[in-house]
Amino acid sequence: MLFAGVSWSAYGLTVEVLDDAGAPAAPTRHYDVVRTADLVADLLALTADGQQLKVVVDSTNGLLDGSMSVAGLEVFRADPHVLGLRPLFGSVDARQLAELARRPGKAELARLSVEDGSLRGRIGQMLEGWHLIQERMDTMAEAGNLRRHGSRNEATVALTFDDGPHPLYTGQVLDVLDRYDVRATFFCTGLSALSMPEEIGRIADGGHTVGNHTWSHPYLPDLTPAELREQVERTSDALRRVTGTRPTLMRPPYGSLAPRILDMWKAFDETLALWDVEVDDWAMPGAETITQRALSQTQPGSVILMHDAGGDRSQTVAALPALIEGLLERGLRPVTFDELHS
């Protein structure tokens, strides 16, 4: 049995692999996010002779589990109560994560899947958090600090894409949008922006809006105020260096809001950008299903949540032409999130 830990830092990803005795079973490897496919392939290669492999990430790393799970790797999430002290900016080191997998019974780890993604075991907790903050969210929406949709009296909708950029799928999404002369909004992670500035530049140059989606796609309730500040500020700085302007929109990963997150949000200038149409494309239900879900839920002013990274997004790309044509046939014009009238 082999045990792998995947950590993140300001600059990229690190993989450590241990054997049953806790000795290194492979060289330490470092990757930037543009090489996520190489990271997954290298882990898969360890299982080529039938060797079993357990991979552990922590809850502040939501960039990889989709790609690894789709590839058939056994992936687990380590939460703060089993990790101890974390760096202000970065996960615990990869060896510590691998050790958590090697010592069953010492720590409770959540087994992740394509169907549940990084939220395995937390969906009820997240929904409870949303329930507790509905009135506060309404107040923030009235003040313009949070938006879930635009005006229901305007025949416009917003297509939004999270988790990118991706070296393959972001360009394919942009090609479809260009074909239909449609503008959209891309909520980008800092680690991806650092690795792929050319893709960020193409998004901005095409007239699309670039928004903040944190640095490493963490589950926000697990962060301290200082950690949240680092995630948001560093991502905004990275995006500004490429586009020349600081993002005015921030989308919380998973929509993971809770009372303490709204308390912390008072320190930021970015508008919280949510959505009212969710197609669950990350679960890969099929292109036809993605299109049907979007068109059946969308109304004037809707914000449609999709993804251009974080896993295999070929179904999202395949669904996009029929989705755009369906919206146009209904007289709904796709615009950027900030062009929606509230």
Q: Which residues are catalytic?
A: 162, 307
Smallest CA-to-CA distance from 4 within 74, 88, 108 is with 74
Cα of 330 vs its chain's centroid, Å: 30
How many Å apart are CA 222 and CA 60, to the nearest integer? 8
Q: Which residue has the tokens 């009296």?
A: 153
Close Cβ partners of 210 (under 8 Å, ≥ 6 residues apart): 185, 186, 188, 200, 203, 204, 239, 243, 247
DSSP β-bridge partners for residue 159: 304
Question: DSSP secondary-structure letter at 133?
Answer: T
Strands (E) in the chain, as ranges, are 2-8, 13-18, 29-31, 53-58, 74-78, 110-111, 146-147, 156-162, 185-188, 209-212, 249-250, 271-273, 277-278, 303-307, 333-335
φ/ψ region of 70 (left if φ > 0, alpha if ψ in -120 to 50, else beta) reads alpha
How many Å apart are CA 66 and CA 315, to the nearest integer? 14
How many Å apart are CA 65 and CA 224, to the nearest integer? 23
Cα of 295 vs its chain's centroid, Å: 23
